[in-house]
Amino acid sequence: MAFSLGSQVLSLLIVLLLLQSPGEAATCSDCFVHSRATYYPNSEEQGTDVGACGFGSFGATLNGGDVSAASDLYRSGLGCGACYQVRCTDSAYCSDKGVTAVITDQGSSDGTDFILSKRAFGRMAQTTEAAASLQALGVIDIEYRRYPNKNITIKIDEHSNNPYYLAFVIEYQQGKKDITAVQLCETTNFVCIVMDRSFGAVWTTTSAPIGPLQIRMLFSDDDDETWVVPLNTIPQDWKVGQTYDTGVQVN
């Protein structure tokens, strides 16, 4: 049986598309993942101050209270502080934008990836009435993606004691990679020490260099790792509860 030139070209294009599709899907950085979400039914509007990520009392108001516990996305604390755009999928109730939530705790419920604060859960809705309807449903279908929303910030932990003990949490982690190591460097001679991950998003040291401090963050995944060095520094007179903007966003 003979095939026309047009048929042969069409067949070739189909084969090429089939070959390219898996690679393109695997490298899609902006694609949404389908899942489910619920909320803390006994929570206040904002987050919790006892989460597994170590944000402490800061965790209740972090990101304006738009926070969440996570199950698989917690990943033994590596996922702490990560930002996600989360939006529900029922067009009768849900907005296109959804909400940007920060992981501050670990938890799972009924096959969900997110247990949102009541505030964050309601902010996925189009209206106040729609938010009440979503809360009545309890568990809803959602889609999510990692989302650069704000600059990565450093929050000095409430147990720190300058200059003897420095602990901080990294807020608003972004991009597809995780922060797997942190170095703390003095800005004159650039002598650096490696900080310890205490748990969750908490990084600590009992031997912080003297003077203004520069941090270096290692972003890693299964294929690659990159050191990110913000230009902004932590001042020498750092104080408990202070937040320092790194000036960095990671796509």
Greater pLDDT, 250 or 234: 234
Give the whole-angstrom CA distance, residue 203 versus residue 62: 17
Q: What is the C-alpha to C-alpha distance for residues 192 and 182, in angstroms, rounded to an integer?
A: 10
DSSP-derived secondary structure for the chain? ----HHHHHHHHHHHHHHHHHHHHHHT-SS--EEEEEEE-TT--SS--SS-TTS-GGGGGTGGGG-EEEESGGGGGGTTTTBEEEEEE--TTTB-SS-EEEEEEEE---TT-SEEE-HHHHHTTBSSHHHHHHHHHH-SEEEEEEE---S--EEEE-TT-BTTTBEEEEEESB-SSSEEEEEEEEETTT--EEEPEEEETTEEEESSPPSSSEEEEEEEE-SS-EEEE--S--B-TT--TT-EEE------
> Could you tell me whether strands 202-205 and 166-171 are parallel, antiparallel, or unpaired per DSSP bridges?
antiparallel
User: What is the distance between the alpha carbons of residues 197 and 45, in angstroms, rounded to a whole number?
Assistant: 30
For residue 210, which phi and psi values (nearest 5 degrees)?
A: -90, 145
CA dist list (Å): 31 to 78, 129, 155 = 21, 29, 30
Location of structure tokens 């972090």: 62
> Structural domains in the chain?
33-146 (2.40.40.10), 152-248 (2.60.40.760)
Q: What is the pLDDT of residues 189-243, one digit of tens each?
A: 889 999 999 999 999 999 999 899 999 999 999 999 999 999 999 999 999 999 9
Over 141-180, what HEC string results?
Answer: EEEEEECCCCCCEEEECCCCECCCEEEEEEECECCCCEEE
* Residue 60 confidence class, pLDDT cut points 50, 70, 90: confident
CA angle, 140 then 142 then 144, to 5°:
150
Q: What percent of the chain has a predicted confidence (pLDDT) above 90? A: 71
Q: Can you read off the two tokens belonging to residue 89?
A: 């999928």
What was the pLDDT predicted at 46?
A: 72
pLDDT one-digit tens code per residue, 17-56: 333 434 444 446 578 999 999 998 766 667 777 789 999 8
